[in-house]
A and B are shown apart, each in its own frame.
Chain A
């Protein structure tokens, strides 16, 4: 009877010990890289045919692995019905590795916006991965067009 009781506590003790020991080996990295988009700025207006200079500061506690820059329509389908007759929506995507897995990196990428692009709101964003697969994303909204009427 006493044996069972003490065995029970021994087992509980064992569980506590097993759960507290070898904590984390110090290598499990769950810290996401950080992103600071410098240009363009939110709600910036961009003329078709001009160059959009994308610039962002990336940081990570261990090392950055790769990034992907995207530009796509932010119109969210509201005008999709008449879409076929209109100009092409602008799409851009570019991905690259961060040189030598550096923990700090500034991305600079000039993006040519075509002349005949469909006017409207666009998302400009970047997705960043660190060497351990931690991911972060940031998006901002810009307007591509000559006249901004909203």
Chain B
């Protein structure tokens, strides 16, 4: 009897009780529900109701065997690891028919906010060099990129300190740094990601204005030994990346070991010449000289889990060393863009990043209440090396480490304790306290960011009320207090240089004062409400409204001088107030048979958005241009996102579109757009599922067309970015040699070698386009 199907599960977020519920719906390949199918779950059994639904209640954590059978259909069997309540959609194949992999169909969500779950499979199927770039395929997300491997995520045109990324519940630090700095989490070894849009500040505090990207590497593995090796190579930068995920679980203890290593050469672009600051820089064979690099990560985890207690300790290290394109690092240089003999060497200038992290997470859970404790320490060490150079003729190279231009050592300690209580069946309350302590130490012959230490404490509460089966309300409140201490920095070299050039004493003083000593206190309370309503069987609507805040960073209040990456004179403003605003998000989730639609509309309104304002006054520093000063003004961002999936016979269709509009609202009536606005963009993809053969299974051909419109709504001194359309093609298949079942995927991106620009690329300002045609091979091998 041939069977098969696909399962797609949409989990209920992170609510963990000792007792779980397993719900599901059984359908045929046409998407029609199947009544009276028989479901066995280990020693329990039920039949589906007239709508094809079934429910098992009061299940304990563990591994169950799920078997689904119905007249005229093949049998479906699967091992289910239950550590939280789950909803399943089971598709039974008509007897005698060939297998067909359906597209992901999320069941209606019961969370009162806009949330999306991303599995490891999705990350690997969409893998593109970095986690942020891989996630950029999710509608509403984008990445600020530099080079081929480094990227940081953006959501709805907000990024940096306005978007929180967490791993195992601990906020990832380092996002506050510039666009030439990426997210230090590896994509090949990431287990799952949850994207929460619109509301994040209640449980995450400052920095979660746009939303939260929650990376979860605490998935409890299956019993026994399980492993996976993934390897990928791509042509555009001759890269080779490897990821190994191993887990072992024996009764209550489990262990994980994950590691990845990638190496990449200089990448190529489909042009022979770029124009930067009026200088034409030829690129030999389109090669971006000195953009090669390598990346290494290692992850170890030990966990203990029983029905009442769970403890997980994780230790990880992430390293990246990558070169910067020297032809446009500062003043344009034709010489530095010439081939340097090897496309794999990392010459000056380059960056070296080391991110070390230890997280501990414990949970004590009873039937109706749970305690949750998280502790995290991370050290983010970033260095930029550049052959000693100076704009001040009196500056002499340091004796030790003469080419270390910038060095930041950011140490952060996080702790969080929360208590969750279920009142009756329909009320749940969470109360928590969160604390963070952070210090930043600096070195190097250039100066960019002040030394500082910051201490933050926040208390929060959240209450969920299931008013009725189809109504859900969530209320949240939070109060935060922070103390920021910024150290003074007086640049003696600059002072002497300016005096030597005949600059007036007061001007020399002001300019040499690179940071003023500051001791600032901030505090802020905020609130959120979310409502979800099940309009009909397949249609759910959620609405959230939340107040937002963000404490100004050390850079924003205290810096003064040329920002060497952005190449402009930036001046902090000690009088900045807490950035405050409101966020509204309205989402519709609709699914019927083989059609699924998610659509969201959002609005962010800031009463005092912090931005860099061009002053129109020249800096007296060499290469300075005008002075930019941090100021605040009203601002708004709004947009729409839609993601629709449809399955028709052996075809799967997906349409995504995102529209974003934003502006400052100034008192003068002249409203400039905000920087880093993702242009209106969309993608359309078609999948075709081929018949299976003995050797090749789950064969699938996919064609994707990606489009972005011209972005002419730019902040001052950004570049207008033209629109583009590119085509990607991929074929994937699972090989079947008895016990050896590797999955292969061959992909060609930008098939027509189109020259196009990514508006949010760091290299955009340098007139450097995105990759041309790129062939990528991706292989995953399960190890059992």
Interface residues, chain A, with chain B CB atoms under 8 Å away: 1, 4-5, 8, 11-12, 15-16, 18-20, 24-25, 27-28, 30, 32, 35, 37, 65-66, 68, 70, 72-74, 76-78, 80-81, 83-84, 88-89, 91, 93, 95, 123, 125, 127, 129, 131-135, 137-140
Contact = CB atoms under 8 A, between A and B. Distances in A.
B332 to A, nearest CB: 7
Contact of A91 (B389, B501, B614, B625): B501
Contacts of B601: 11-12, 15-16
Interface string B614-636: 11101000111110000000000
28 contacts: A8-B586, A15-B601, A16-B601, A19-B638, A19-B639, A25-B669, A25-B671, A27-B669, A28-B673, A72-B622, A73-B393, A76-B387, A76-B389, A77-B397, A80-B388, A80-B396, A80-B397, A83-B393, A91-B501, A93-B622, A125-B277, A129-B618, A132-B716, A133-B615, A133-B716, A133-B717, A135-B614, A138-B279
Nearest to B567: A137
B391 interface: yes
A145 B672 CA distance: 47
Given A11-B601, A18-B638, A28-B670, 12 more contacts: A1-B536, A4-B533, A4-B535, A65-B616, A76-B333, A77-B388, A78-B387, A84-B396, A134-B717, A135-B625, A138-B278, A139-B332
B131 to A, nearest CB: 30
A114 B387 CA distance: 29
Contacts of B623: 70, 72
Contact of A68 (B390, B397, B618, B715): B618
User: When A and B form their complex, which 8 residue pairs have the shortest distance between CB atoms, in order from nearest?
Assistant: A77-B389, A133-B614, A138-B278, A19-B661, A12-B601, A15-B601, A133-B616, A19-B638
A93 B497 CA distance: 14
B278 A139 contact: yes
Given A8-B588, A25-B670, A76-B389, A30 B716 contact: yes
Contacts of A78: 387
B603 A134 contact: no
Given A4-B533, A28-B673, A129-B616, A135 B626 contact: yes
B223 to A, nearest CB: 45
A20 B391 CA distance: 46
Contacts of A11: 543, 586, 601
B717 A37 contact: no
A18 B543 CA distance: 18
A134 B745 CA distance: 47
Nearest to A16: B640
Given A4-B535, A78-B387, A37 B626 contact: no
Contact of B640 (A12, A68, A133, A138): A12
A32 B278 contact: no
B108 to A, nearest CB: 14
Contact of A8 (B397, B541, B638): B541
Given A5-B535, A133-B626, A138 B277 contact: yes
Contacts of A133: 613-616, 626, 716-717
Interface in B95-113: none
Interface of B: 277-279, 331-333, 387-391, 393, 396-397, 501, 533, 535-536, 539, 541, 543, 586, 588, 599, 601-603, 613-616, 618, 622-626, 638-640, 661, 669-673, 713-718, 720
B640 A15 contact: yes
A77 B387 contact: yes
B504 to A, nearest CB: 14
Contact of A137 (B393, B533, B625, B671): B625
Contacts of A8: 541, 543, 586, 588
A88 B659 CA distance: 56
Contacts of A132: 716
A93 B620 CA distance: 9
For A11, A27, A30, which residue has the most chain B Cβ atoms within 10 angstroms?
Answer: A30
B671 A28 contact: yes
A15 B618 contact: no
B307 to A, nearest CB: 39
A12 to B, nearest CB: 4
The secondary structure that dominates the A interface is mixed
Nearest to B395: A80
A132 B616 CA distance: 7
Contact of A81 (B397, B536, B614, B720): B397
Contacts of A19: 638-639, 661
Contacts of B720: 30
B541 A35 contact: no
A12 B716 contact: no
A133 B713 CA distance: 16
B618 A1 contact: no
Contacts of B614: 129, 133-135
A58 to B, nearest CB: 12
A29 to B, nearest CB: 8
Nearest to A76: B389
Contacts of A72: 391, 622-623
A19 B671 CA distance: 13
Contact of B638 (A5, A15, A135): A15
A139 B388 contact: no
Contact of A127 (B391, B543, B618): B618
A30 B397 contact: no
Nearest to B542: A8
Contacts of B588: 8
Contacts of B391: 72
Contacts of A88: 393
Contacts of B396: 80, 84
Contact of B278 (A1, A131, A140): A140
A140 B333 CA distance: 10
B541 A4 contact: yes
For A19, A25, A138, A139, which residue has the most chain B Cβ atoms within 10 angstroms?
Answer: A19
A77 B640 contact: no
Contacts of B331: 74, 123, 125, 139
A51 B713 CA distance: 44
B616 A139 contact: no
A129 B671 contact: no
A5 B541 contact: yes
B140 to A, nearest CB: 14
Given A5-B535, A25-B671, A32 B717 contact: yes
A129 B626 contact: yes
A123 B330 CA distance: 12
A80 B714 contact: no
Nearest to B613: A133
A135 B717 contact: yes
Contacts of B661: 19-20
A83 B395 CA distance: 10
A73 to B, nearest CB: 7
Nearest to A127: B625
A17 B644 CA distance: 23
A4 B714 CA distance: 36
B673 to A, nearest CB: 7
Contacts of B714: 30
Contacts of A91: 393, 501, 622
B278 A24 contact: no
A23 B717 CA distance: 20
Contacts of A135: 614, 625-626, 717
Given A25-B671, A28-B673, A134 B393 contact: no
A140 B279 contact: yes
Contacts of B397: 77, 80-81
B388 A37 contact: no
A90 to B, nearest CB: 10
